[in-house]
């Protein structure tokens, strides 16, 4: 036997081998394996199930949430606070860390579910032949060489080489992306045929929609195509986000800088000013606590979480918090066609009759639609030939349109359902038409003859054969076609041109014909449809694009985002849909077979330019994503099938369809669209850009305030003052209370005007640009001059360190209140009604913080905890006057920046 275990050599090309050679290679026969053979192979090959990857324990998954440099910094801050025996503050800091970890655990905890979801696609029970007898057994017990009967409705439990096929059609959309069920045959295929073209194979996890057949099992478990995808998903590395990479780097540098500066200050204070080691230890601790942005990790998480809530309201469910920010940097969307850009519902769009071409409006299985000719309304009921053709489409058909409590859906083949819908749009009633022309016999569709024929008898004694199928099979059997004068000889060449023209537009073309019989047979034979058929016309079907997808693609292009179609469907169909949705380059199409022949260097040259990829496999999709990322692109990959899972997992943002998508795709993705609407991605990108803007604003707000606090302590050390302006616990109060109010308000900033007219942000662009670094230094100096100046003034005037520290703390907080308004726009002015009043959360945060500071200043319990004392109204006026200087000075600095320097591409635009 060729394949006996997971460690065996590569599987032979079963699809390229004749049936007899397959049976010989697998050492089996048409009556099936013997019981002894099956037991031996079960021991060799193992059970027919996908191996379960060893997953992390829940504890390890929770602990992994703490593996972040900023979290380490936050833990150090909590430890320092514990050493200072300030239990409440330590509890607050540690509480922030734990909340952050819990959110991450909940959002990311299902990452390992992709493999288990693939395993669940396997059928639980299966029918096989053993010792010539049909038996039902657990799908786990199937082995290579088993003979399996196949029939409509079955989910295939292993990879199978077909031995017999009669009208067999299999829905392989989840595996290959093919939009309609595939017609199967037993004829060998080319050795290098891609997965979707291997018509003599049936694959594990796919569904039989029509017909019946018999096959021999060629692969089970991990060696099936489904198993190979499972292994591919397990090997794919999930990438971190640009912001997290940058913030991790920033956290490392910040940690190093804080430790270094604190150590230098410690040594300087002892050596130059004669401070004791104990005094300098407390001062160094205060400096470190001041410099550490305790609230930054929490604010980042909360800002991302707010983005998640907004997206959920807009039908986009985020499974990993950082993906929100990554959406803002997306520069390429690799989109599946079927069900993503299109409706995944076949639709009859055109009827080519001998004397007129009719177009049909409506999409999918919606029964509403109208007939037009040359863009004018057309009374199809008055055209006898058209109604004959539509009646044939309805009768030579095994699909049903079902209306129940859950809505309208189909039973049977999607293409046949589309034919029924077209007939119903013309006013035909399926039930009444079936009663008027009852069916007495049929020739089912088979890939060998490529048509279906049905025999009908009317109540008036008429006998008629109706045939639908591939034009190349039916045209050669037709002698006449209908016209207004009746049957006329057929012009084969003209009809072949019609077929070619419709095919070039992406239509799947069916020919519809009939033959009226003089006698009244009760059985239908191939001789009855061999010749003398009358062609009624051609029918053009297509899986139409979503109307919203066309608009969404245009919006993406305005936003500088390249949309690429990556589909398992045919080249012609892919090209037609690409032109309809408005992709940029529709002249070049690469197929999976071409990708197979390309080396990495050649593909690297093509991938930036080519926008359409047809008949691709999971490995091809993954390879395309990797090459785009190698070009520095931030890639979003959309998909709904099992075949999309590896690329979804590898992409910077995997986007799965919530309605039509498999659980495998959903669990491999960072984002799930609950409405399966491509346009929702555009809204998500807009929200991602807004979230990134708001994160930058929060960072630009928090870091200068921390810098100001640290410089106040450092200035006191350098000047050798007897009393420090701020104590560590007062610094913690300022950091945590302003982060919980002021910085949080920036998370609710609305989108900037023109946000979707910007080019995508370069992910390599640092968060801390030169403008940011300058602003941090500039604002920090303003804060230290004002805060330290008022502290020293009050110490000289009153001599009370508690009073002076109370002034210093409130001055620092008031500085932050005024600077909050500056931070709403990074470069553009806020000195207008929208800038000062346009965010109600900012106004609410300011009001709340004022109440907190009044409590901090006047409540006895707070005075006892933080060492503060009451101050008078005149002092408050002085504090406000000094603190307001930051608003005017930063606005002057912004004006200079606007005048002398053009903002970077990712800079927020001015408000509308």
Report the candidate in 879, 841, 893 with the shortest Cα–Cα distance to residue 306: 841
Whether residue 229 contacts residue 649, with contact meaning beta carbons closer than 8 Å, is answered with: no
Q: In whole angstroms, what is the distance from residue 836 CA to residue 824 CA?
A: 9
Residue 509 bridge partners (DSSP)? 540
Whether residue 209 contacts residue 412, with contact meaning beta carbons closer than 8 Å, is answered with: yes
Q: Cα angle at 438 between 434 and 442, to 5 degrees?
A: 110
Report the relative pairing of strands 357-360 and 371-373 from DSSP bridges.
antiparallel
Q: In whole angstroms, what is the distance from residue 827 CA to residue 896 CA?
A: 10
- Could you tell me the two tokens for 562? 């390249």
Residues in the chain: 912
Active site residue 336: yes
Three-state SS across 480-497? Answer: EEEECCEEEECCHHHHHH
Whether residue 97 contacts residue 78, with contact meaning beta carbons closer than 8 Å, is answered with: yes
Beta strand extents in 184-262 (DSSP E only): 201-202, 207-219
DSSP for 312-336 reads HHTTEEESSTTHHHHHTT--EEEE-
Q: Active site residue: 141, 146, 336, 652, which one?
A: 336
Whether residue 524 contacts residue 442, with contact meaning beta carbons closer than 8 Å, is answered with: yes
Report the relative pairing of strands 533-542 and 159-171 from DSSP bridges.
unpaired
Q: In whole angstroms, what is the distance from residue 189 CA to residue 17 CA?
A: 8
Chain-centroid distance, C-alpha 359:
35
Whether residue 559 contacts residue 756, with contact meaning beta carbons closer than 8 Å, is answered with: yes
- Could you tell me the two tokens for 165? 């096929």
Radius of gyration for the alpha carbons in the chain, expressed in angstroms and rounded: 36
Q: Give how far Cα 879 sits from Cα of 326, 790, 808, 872, 883, Å.
A: 41, 8, 9, 11, 6
- CB hemisphere CA count around 677 (13 angstroms): 15
Whether residue 161 contacts residue 218, with contact meaning beta carbons closer than 8 Å, is answered with: yes
Q: Cα angle at 762 between 760 and 765, to 5 degrees?
A: 140
- Could you tell me the two tokens for 824? 């709403």
Report the candidate in 268, 264, 259, 267 with the shortest Cα–Cα distance to residue 288: 259
Residue 332 bridge partners (DSSP)? 562, 635
Q: Is 579 exposed, middle or buried (0-12, 13-18, 19+ CB in 10 A)?
A: middle
Structure-token match 């025999």, residue found: 455
Report the candidate in 657, 660, 743 with the shortest Cα–Cα distance to residue 696: 743
Q: Give how far Cα 798 sits from Cα of 678, 881, 906, Å.
A: 67, 20, 50
Whether residue 34 contacts residue 73, with contact meaning beta carbons closer than 8 Å, is answered with: no
Annotated catalytic sites, by residue?
336
């Amino acid at each position: 036997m060729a394949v006996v275990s997971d460690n065996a050599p590569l599987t032979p090309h079963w699809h390229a081998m004749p049936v007899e050679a397959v049976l010989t290679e697998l050492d089996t026969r048409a009556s099936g394996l013997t019981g002894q053979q099956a037991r031996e192979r079960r021991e060799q090959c193992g059970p027919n199930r996908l191996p379960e990857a060893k997953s992390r324990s829940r504890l390890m998954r929770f602990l992994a949430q703490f593996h972040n440099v900023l979290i380490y910094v936050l833990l150090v801050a909590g430890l320092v606070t514990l050493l200072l025996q300030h239990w409440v503050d330590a509890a607050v800091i540690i509480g922030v860390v734990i909340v952050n970890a819990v959110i991450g655990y909940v959002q990311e905890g299902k990452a390992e579910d992709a493999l288990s979801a693939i395993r669940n696609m396997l059928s639980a029970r299966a029918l096989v032949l053993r010792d010539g007898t049909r038996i039902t057994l657990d799908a786990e017990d199937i082995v290579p060489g088993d003979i399996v009967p196949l029939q409509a409705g079955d989910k295939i439990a292993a990879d199978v080489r077909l031995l017999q096929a009669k009208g067999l059609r299999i829905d392989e959309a989840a595996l290959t992306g093919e939009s309609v069920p595939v017609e199967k045959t037993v004829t060998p295929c080319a050795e290098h045929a891609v997965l979707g073209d291997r018509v003599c194979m049936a694959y594990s996890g796919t569904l039989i929609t029509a017909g019946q057949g018999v096959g021999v099992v060629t692969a089970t478990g991990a060696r099936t195509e489904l198993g190979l995808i499972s292994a591919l998903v397990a090997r794919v590395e999930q990438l971190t986000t640009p912001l997290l990479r940058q913030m991790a780097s920033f956290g490392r540098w910040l940690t190093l800088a804080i430790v270094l500066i604190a150590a230098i200050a410690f040594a300087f204070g002892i050596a130059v000013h004669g401070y004791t080691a104990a005094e300098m230890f407390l001062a160094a601790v205060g400096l470190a606590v001041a410099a550490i942005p305790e609230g930054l990790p929490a604010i980042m998480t909360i800002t991302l979480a707010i983005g998640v809530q907004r997206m959920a309201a807009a039908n986009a469910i985020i499974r990993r918090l950082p993906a929100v920010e990554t959406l803002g940097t997306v520069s390429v969307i690799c989109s599946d066609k079927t069900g993503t850009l299109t409706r995944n519902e076949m639709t009859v769009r055109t009827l080519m009759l001998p004397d007129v071409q009719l177009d049909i409006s409506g999409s999918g299985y919606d029964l509403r639609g109208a007939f037009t000719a040359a863009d004018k309304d057309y009374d199809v009921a008055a055209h006898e030939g058209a109604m004959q053709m539509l009646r044939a489409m309805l009768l030579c058909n095994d699909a049903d349109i079902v209306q129940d409590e859950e809505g309208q859906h189909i039973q049977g083949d999607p293409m046949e359902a589309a034919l029924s819908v077209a007939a119903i749009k013309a006013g035909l009633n399926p039930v009444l038409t079936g009663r008027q022309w009852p069916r007495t016999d049929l020739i089912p569709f088979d890939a060998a003859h490529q048509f279906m024929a049905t025999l009908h008898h009317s109540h008036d004694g008429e006998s008629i054969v109706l045939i639908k199928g591939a034009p190349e099979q039916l045209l050669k059997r037709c002698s006449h076609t209908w016209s207004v004068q009746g049957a006329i000889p057929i012009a084969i060449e003209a009809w072949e041109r019609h077929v070619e023209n419709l095919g070039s537009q992406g239509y799947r073309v069916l020919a519809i014909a009939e033959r009226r019989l003089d006698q009244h047979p009760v059985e239908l034979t191939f001789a009855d449809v061999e010749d003398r058929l009358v062609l009624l016309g051609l029918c053009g079907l297509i899986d139409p694009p979503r109307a919203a997808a066309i608009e969404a693609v245009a919006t993406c292009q305005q936003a500088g985002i390249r949309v690429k179609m990556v589909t398992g469907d045919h080249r012609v169909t892919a090209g037609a849909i690409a032109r309809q949705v408005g992709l940029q380059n529709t002249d070049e199409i690469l197929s999976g077979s071409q990708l197979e022949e390309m080396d990495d260097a050649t593909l690297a040259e093509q991938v930036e330019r080519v926008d359409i990829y047809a008949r691709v496999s999971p490995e091809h999709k993954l390879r395309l994503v990797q090459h785009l990322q190698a070009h520095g692109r931030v890639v979003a990959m959309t998909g709904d099938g099992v075949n999309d899972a590896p690329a979804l997992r590898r992409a910077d943002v995997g986007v799965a369809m919530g309605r039509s998508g498999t659980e495998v795709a959903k669990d491999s993705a960072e984002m799930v669209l609950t409405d399966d609407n491509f346009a929702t991605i555009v809204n998500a990108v807009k929200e991602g850009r807004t979230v990134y803007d708001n994160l930058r604003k929060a960072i630009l707000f928090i870091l200068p305030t921390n810098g100001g606090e640290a410089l106040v302590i450092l200035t006191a050390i350098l000047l050798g003052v007897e009393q420090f302006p701020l104590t560590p616990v007062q610094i913690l109060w300022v950091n945590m209370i302003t982060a919980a109010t002021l910085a949080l308000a920036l998370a609710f900033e609305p989108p900037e005007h023109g946000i979707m007219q910007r080019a995508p942000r370069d992910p390599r662009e640092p968060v801390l640009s030169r403008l940011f670094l300058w602003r941090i230094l500039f604002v920090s100096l303003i804060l230290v001059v004002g805060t330290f100046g008022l502290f020293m003034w009050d110490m000289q005037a009153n001599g009370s360190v508690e009073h002076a520290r109370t002034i210093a703390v409130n001055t620092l907080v008031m500085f932050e209140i005024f600077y909050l308004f500056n931070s709403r726009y990074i470069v553009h002015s806020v000195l207008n009604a929208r800038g000062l009043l346009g965010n109600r959360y900012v106004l609410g945060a300011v009001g709340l913080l004022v109440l907190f500071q009044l409590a901090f200043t006047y409540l006895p319990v707070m005075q006892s905890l933080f060492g503060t004392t009451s101050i008078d109204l005149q002092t408050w006026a002085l504090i406000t006057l000094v603190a307001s200087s930051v608003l005017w000075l930063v606005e002057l600095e912004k004006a200079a920046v606007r005048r002398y320097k053009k903002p970077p591409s990712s800079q927020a635009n001015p408000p509308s």
